A and B are shown apart, each in its own frame.
Chain A
């Protein structure tokens, strides 16, 4: 099996790098999901977010997701990169890219990956508001 293309990083995520990782000559399409920092939660103004991870386990769970995605869907490659630390409004928290011979598989694989990541990967988001902060415990 090919090496996993997944990463946790404190640096700004690089879309071009992630797309190039999954690109290959067998693919007819690349689908990308980008999760960004929203400026409000239930009308409360967010100043910034702070992400932390149980890094060794988070990476292991991310690798499980990309391996499961390759088993479930006809995709060539998948890369999942998640940012950690302080993120400002509008910045990318997560980028997932999937390449496939045909587009349906790439769309489905990205959807599966972000939905599963939100349920299983041990990463925590703290929302810092103008008047307080809270560790998010339910993610719609």
Chain B
């Protein structure tokens, strides 16, 4: 399926854009993270890397659908 991923903070710099569009052959958030880490090796160096689906933190087994709003969440540093 074709998905679009929102990028923030350091992941925006690693990927080089605000969003990333890709053809995803897996089903879950965990598979998507593995795919992204393979494609962008620098993501491996982050302390944590979470996936958000429709504004909620996803578990590794959360199913991803084409229409979902997906975001990559590097370590947060608000406050």
Contact = CB atoms under 8 A, between A and B. Distances in A.
Interface residues of A, number: 28
Interface residues of B, number: 19
Nearest to A33: B79
Contacts, number: 76
B73 A135 contact: no
A114 B78 CA distance: 9
Nearest to A94: B79
Interface in B39-79: 46-47, 52, 55-57, 71, 73-79
Contacts of A135: 9-10, 13, 74, 77
B8 A54 contact: yes
Nearest to B6: A54
When A and B form their complex, which 7 residue pairs have the shortest distance between CB atoms, in order from nearest?
A123-B78, A124-B9, A136-B77, A135-B10, A137-B75, A57-B55, A125-B77
16 contacts: A52-B8, A53-B78, A56-B55, A57-B56, A58-B78, A60-B55, A94-B79, A114-B79, A118-B77, A118-B78, A118-B79, A120-B57, A122-B52, A125-B77, A135-B9, A137-B10
